[in-house]
Chains A and B, each alone.
Chain A
Amino acid sequence: MYSAMEYGYGMRKRPVEEVTFYRQNKKGKPLKISREKYLRTDICCGVNGCKKCIATDRSLCRLEIAPAINSKKFDFKHFILPDAGFIIRQTDVLDDLDNVILLQSVMEEVYKRNVTKYKRIRNGVKTKSWTYFLNEHSKDTFVNRKPNETTDERNTREFVQCYKYFTEHLASFGIKVIIFSDNPAFREEVEKIHGGDVLLASAEEYVLTMTDKFKDLMDRLCLIPYNEDEAVKKYQDFTYPPHFDSNLLQAGIKSGKYYQGAFRSFNFFEGFVRIEDDASAANAKSGPRKQKDDLAYNEILLQGLENVNRACEGDIVVIEVLPEDKWSIPSGMVTVDAIEKESPLVADKVVLENVETDVDVQEHEDRLEEEEIFAAVAESVKNVGEKKRQRTGRVIGIIRRKWLPICGMIRKSLKEGTSFHYFFPDNKKMPKVRIETRNVDRFEGQKIVAQIDQWPISSRFPVGHYIKILGPAGTIETETSAILHEHGIPHDPFSKAVEACLPQMPWTIDPSEYAKRKDFRDIIVCSVDPPGCTDIDDALHCRRLDDGMYEVGVHIADVSYFVQPNNALDDEAAKRGTTVYLADRRIDMIPPLISSNLASLHSGTDKLVFSCIWTMTPSADILDTKFYKGIMNSKSAMTYAEAQARLNSKTTGDPITDSLRGLSTLAQILKKKRFDNGALMLSASEVNEEGEIEDDCEESHSLVEEFMLLANCSVAKFTLETFREFSLLRRHPIPPPANFEPLQLAAKAHGIKIVVDEGSKALNESLERQPAELKSILRVLTTRCMTQALYCCSGTTPPDEYPHFGLAAKLYTHFTSPIRRYADLMVHRLLAIAIEVDRPNPRILDSQRMHGIAENINLRHRMAQYASRASYNIHKSKTLKGKNEEEHTGFVLFVKRNALQVFVPRYAMEGFIFFPKDMQYNYNEKDGEITIGSTKFRSLDRLTIGLSLEEEKDRVVFRLLKPEVAGLSDKPASSTK
Chain B
Amino acid sequence: MAEILLSEVEKYYLVMGVGQDVRVDGRSRSDYRQGDIDLNAVTNSHGSIRARLGETDVIVATKVDLGTPDPDRPDRGTIKFLVDCSPTASPDFEGRGGDELAEKICRILSIAYDKSGTIDLKNLCITPKKYCYVIDVDILVLQCGGNLIDVISMAVKLCLGICELPRVTGLRYDLGQGVPVFSTDEFEFDYLDVKNSPVVVTLPRVGRYFVVDASLEEESCSKGKLAFGVTPDGCVTSIDKLGRGCYQVKSIQAATAMASTVGANVNNTINMRIDSLRELKLRADPKPLSMPMDI
Chain A residues close to B by CB (< 8 Å): 1, 5, 18, 20-24, 26-34, 145-151, 247, 250-251, 254-255
Contacts and interface: CB of A to CB of B under 8 A. Distances in A.
B61 to A, nearest CB: 11
Interface stretch (B20-28, B94-102, B169-177): B169-177
Contact of A22 (B174, B179, B185): B185
B225 interface: no
Q: Counting chain B CB atoms within 10 Å of each CB, which of A23, A31, A146, A148 scores highest?
A: A31
B44 interface: yes
A34 B43 CA distance: 6
Given A24-B182, A250-B174, A30 B284 contact: no
B43 A18 contact: yes
Contacts of B269: none
Q: Top 6 nearest A-B pairs by Cβ distance?
A: A34-B43, A30-B182, A254-B173, A28-B66, A30-B166, A254-B174
A20 B188 CA distance: 12
18 contacts: A18-B43, A21-B186, A22-B166, A22-B182, A24-B181, A28-B179, A29-B65, A30-B166, A32-B164, A33-B44, A34-B44, A145-B187, A147-B281, A147-B282, A147-B284, A150-B185, A250-B172, A251-B172
Contacts of A27: 66, 175
Given A22-B184, A28-B179, A247-B170, 11 more contacts: A22-B183, A24-B181, A26-B175, A28-B180, A30-B166, A32-B44, A145-B186, A146-B284, A147-B282, A250-B173, A254-B173
Nearest to A26: B175
A29 B66 contact: yes
Contacts of A34: 43-44
A247 to B, nearest CB: 7
B110 interface: no
Q: Counting chain B CB atoms within 10 Å of each CB, which of A26, A29, A30, A150 scores highest?
A: A30
Contacts of B131: 28
A521 B105 CA distance: 84
Q: Counting chain B CB atoms within 10 Å of each CB, which of A24, A145, A250 scores highest?
A: A24
Interface in B56-81: 57, 64-66
B185 A1 contact: no
Contacts, number: 66
A28 B184 CA distance: 12
B286 to A, nearest CB: 9
A811 B165 CA distance: 57
B184 A23 contact: yes
Given A1-B57, A34-B44, A147-B284, A28 B186 contact: no
Contacts of B66: 27-30
B173 A148 contact: no
Contacts of A29: 65-66
Interface in B157-207: 164, 166, 170, 172-175, 179-187
B29 interface: no
Contact of B184 (A18, A21, A26, A251): A21
Contacts of A254: 173-174
Contacts of A251: 172-173
A702 to B, nearest CB: 55
Given A24-B181, A33-B44, A255 B173 contact: yes
Q: Counting chain B CB atoms within 10 Å of each CB, which of A22, A24, A150 scores highest?
A: A22
Q: Counting chain B CB atoms within 10 Å of each CB, which of A18, A28, A148, A149 scores highest?
A: A28
B237 interface: no
Contacts of B173: 250-251, 254-255
A30 B190 CA distance: 14
A747 to B, nearest CB: 48
Contacts of A255: 173
B186 A22 contact: yes
Nearest to A20: B186
Contacts of B180: 28
Nearest to B38: A5
A23 B185 CA distance: 9
Contact of A24 (B38, B142, B184): B184
Contacts of B164: 32
A174 B184 CA distance: 43
Contacts of A33: 44
Contacts of B283: 147
B175 A28 contact: yes
B44 A148 contact: no
A147 B187 contact: yes
B45 interface: yes
A148 B281 CA distance: 11
A254 B183 CA distance: 21
Contacts of A21: 184, 186
Contacts of B44: 31-34
Nearest to B50: A5
Nearest to A27: B66
A151 B185 contact: yes
A16 to B, nearest CB: 12
A33 B46 CA distance: 9
A1 to B, nearest CB: 7
B265 interface: no
Contacts of B184: 21-24
B39 to A, nearest CB: 12
A21 to B, nearest CB: 5
A397 to B, nearest CB: 16
B249 to A, nearest CB: 42
A30 B165 CA distance: 9
Contacts of A32: 44-46, 164, 186
Nearest to B183: A22
Nearest to B182: A30
A173 B182 CA distance: 49
Contacts of B30: none
A460 B284 CA distance: 50
A810 B220 CA distance: 83
Nearest to A19: B186
A717 to B, nearest CB: 42
A32 B45 CA distance: 6
A5 B59 CA distance: 13
A150 B43 CA distance: 22
Contacts of A151: 185
Contacts of A23: 184
B177 to A, nearest CB: 9
B143 interface: yes
Q: Counting chain A CB atoms within 10 Å of each CB, which of B46, B173, B186, B281 scores highest?
A: B186
Interface in B259-289: 281-284
Nearest to B184: A22
B13 to A, nearest CB: 28
A18 B286 CA distance: 11
Contacts of A30: 46, 64-66, 166, 182
Contacts of A22: 166, 182-186
A5 B187 CA distance: 27
Interface in B118-132: 131
Nearest to A150: B185
A150 B188 CA distance: 10
B42 to A, nearest CB: 9
B188 to A, nearest CB: 8
A148 B187 CA distance: 7
A29 B66 CA distance: 5
Nearest to B166: A30
A22 B172 CA distance: 17
A150 B179 CA distance: 25
B180 to A, nearest CB: 7
A28 B43 CA distance: 20
Contacts of B43: 18, 20, 34
A908 B45 CA distance: 71
A250 B44 CA distance: 31
A713 B166 CA distance: 59
Interface in B95-119: none
A24 B180 CA distance: 10
A30 B181 CA distance: 9
A34 to B, nearest CB: 4
A33 B282 CA distance: 18
